[in-house]
Chains A and B, each alone.
Chain A
Amino acid sequence: MSTTEETATIPRATGAPTDAETTAVLAPVPAAATPEGRWRPGRAGWLARGAVWLAVAWLVLALPANQLSPITIGPADVDIASRAVIFAIGGLSLHVLLGWCGQISLGHQAFVGLGAFTSAYLVTDLGMSFWFAIAVAAGFGAVQATLLGMVSLRLTGLYFALVTLAYGAFAENTLFGITSLTGGEGGKPAARPPGFESPENYYYLCLAFLALVIWLDWRLTRTKGGRAMAALRENPRVASAYGINVRAYTLMAFAVSGIFAGIAGSLTAHHDEIIVKSSFDFRLALTFVLMTVVGGLRSRVGVVIGSAFFAILEEGAFVAMVEGLIGGLGFTPTFFESVIGLPAEFVGLVVGPILLLLTLTLYPGGIGQQIAPITRWLGGRRFDRHAGAVREVEVDDVRA
Chain B
Amino acid sequence: MSQTLDELGVAAVTGTLQGAVYALVALGIVLVYRASGVFNFAQAEFGTTGLFAAYTAKELWGWGYPSAFAFGIAAAVAMGLLTERLVIHPLRNAPRVTLLVATAGVALTAIGLQFWQFNETLVMTMPKIDDSFFLVPPFDAPVTVQQLITFGVLIAASVALALFFRSPSGLAIVAAQQEPTAAELVGISVRRVSMMTWAMAAVLGGLAGILAGPNTTFSAAFLSFGGGAALLPGFMAAVLAGMRSMPGAVAGGITVGIVEQMGTLTIVSENVPGARAAVLFVFLLAVLLVAPRGIYLGKAAVA
Instruction: Show the binding face of A for B, using Cβ within 8 Å.
Output: 1-4, 98, 102-104, 106, 151-152, 154-155, 157-159, 161-163, 165-167, 169-170, 172-174, 177-178, 233, 282, 286, 289-290, 293, 341-343, 346, 349-354, 356-357, 360-361, 364, 394, 399
A172 to B96, CA, bound (A): 28
Query: Assuming the A-B contacts A174-B278, A399-B181, are A155 and B293 also in contact, with contact meaning beta carbons closer than 8 angstroms in the complex?
Result: yes
Query: Assuming the A-B contacts A104-B97, A154-B288, A154-B292, are A172 and B92 also in contact, with contact meaning beta carbons closer than 8 angstroms in the complex?
Result: no
From B101, B115, B231, B281, contact of A293 by CB (8 A): B101
Query: Assuming the A-B contacts A154-B289, A169-B232, are A1 and B277 also in contact, with contact meaning beta carbons closer than 8 angstroms in the complex?
Result: no
Closest to A177 in B: B273
B280/A170 in contact, CB under 8 A: yes
Q: Does B105 contact A (CB under 8 A)?
A: yes
A346/B119 in contact, CB under 8 A: yes
Q: Does B236 contact A (CB under 8 A)?
A: yes
A174 to B278, CA, bound (A): 6
A102 to B100, CA, bound (A): 11
A282 to B232, CA, bound (A): 12
Give the distance to chain B from A104, nearest Cβ to Cβ, in Å: 5
Query: Assuming the A-B contacts A169-B277, A342-B116, A356-B105, are A162 and B91 also in contact, with contact meaning beta carbons closer than 8 angstroms in the complex?
Result: no
B179/A4 in contact, CB under 8 A: yes
Instruction: Show the binding face of B for A, using Cβ within 8 Å.
Output: 35-37, 39, 86-87, 90-98, 100-102, 104-106, 108-109, 111-113, 115-116, 119, 177-181, 225, 229, 231-232, 235-236, 239, 272-278, 280-281, 284-285, 288-289, 292-293
Residues of A near B105 (CB, < 8 A) are: 290, 293, 353, 356-357, 360
B39/A162 in contact, CB under 8 A: yes
From A1, A151, A361, contact of B285 by CB (8 A): A151
Query: Assuming the A-B contacts A151-B289, A163-B288, A166-B236, are A394 and B112 also in contact, with contact meaning beta carbons closer than 8 angstroms in the complex?
Result: no
Query: Assuming the A-B contacts A103-B97, A161-B100, A361-B91, are A170 and B277 also in contact, with contact meaning beta carbons closer than 8 angstroms in the complex?
Result: yes
Please name the 7 residue pairs, one residue from A and one from B, whose CB atoms are nearest each other, closest first: A173-B274, A177-B273, A353-B108, A170-B281, A350-B112, A173-B277, A353-B109
A158/B274 in contact, CB under 8 A: no
A4/B273 in contact, CB under 8 A: no
A361 to B273, CA, bound (A): 41
A28 to B57, CA, bound (A): 72
A357/B232 in contact, CB under 8 A: no
Give the distance to chain B from A246, nearest Cβ to Cβ, in Å: 15
Given pairs A169-B281, A173-B276, A349-B115, 19 additional interface contacts (CB within 8 A): A3-B177, A151-B288, A159-B239, A161-B39, A166-B232, A166-B277, A167-B281, A169-B232, A172-B277, A177-B274, A233-B95, A289-B104, A290-B108, A353-B111, A353-B112, A356-B108, A360-B94, A361-B90, A361-B91
A235 to B137, CA, bound (A): 57
Closest to A159 in B: B288
Residues of B near A346 (CB, < 8 A) are: 112, 115-116, 119
A162/B115 in contact, CB under 8 A: no
A143 to B180, CA, bound (A): 42
7 A–B pairs (Cβ distance < 8 Å), ordered by A: A155-B288, A165-B231, A167-B281, A349-B115, A360-B102, A360-B105, A364-B98
Residues of B near A342 (CB, < 8 A) are: 116
Where chain B touches its partner, the secondary structure class is helix
B273/A178 in contact, CB under 8 A: yes
Closest to B36 in A: A3
Give the distance to chain B from A170, nearest Cβ to Cβ, in Å: 4
Residues of A near B119 (CB, < 8 A) are: 343, 346
Where chain A touches its partner, the secondary structure class is helix
B277/A155 in contact, CB under 8 A: no
Residues of B near A103 (CB, < 8 A) are: 97
Closest to B288 in A: A151
A158/B100 in contact, CB under 8 A: yes
Give the distance to chain A from B113, nearest Cβ to Cβ, in Å: 7
Query: Assuming the A-B contacts A166-B284, A341-B116, are A173 and B292 also in contact, with contact meaning beta carbons closer than 8 angstroms in the complex?
Result: no
Residues of A near B278 (CB, < 8 A) are: 170, 173-174
A350 to B95, CA, bound (A): 26
Query: Assuming the A-B contacts A151-B288, A154-B289, are A162 and B235 also in contact, with contact meaning beta carbons closer than 8 angstroms in the complex?
Result: yes
Residues of A near B104 (CB, < 8 A) are: 106, 286, 289
B109/A357 in contact, CB under 8 A: yes
Residues of A near B177 (CB, < 8 A) are: 3
A173 to B220, CA, bound (A): 20
A115 to B49, CA, bound (A): 35
A98/B178 in contact, CB under 8 A: no
Residues of B near A159 (CB, < 8 A) are: 239, 288
Closest to B37 in A: A3
From A158, A167, A290, A293, contact of B39 by CB (8 A): A158
Residues of B near A1 (CB, < 8 A) are: 92-93, 180
Give the distance to chain B from A244, nearest Cβ to Cβ, in Å: 17
Residues of B near A152 (CB, < 8 A) are: 288
B113/A350 in contact, CB under 8 A: yes
From A104, A172, A233, A282, contact of B274 by CB (8 A): A172
Closest to A97 in B: B97
Highest count of chain B CB atoms <10 Å: which of A2, A341, A399: A2
Query: Assuming the A-B contacts A163-B288, A166-B281, A361-B91, are A352 and B108 also in contact, with contact meaning beta carbons closer than 8 angstroms in the complex?
Result: yes
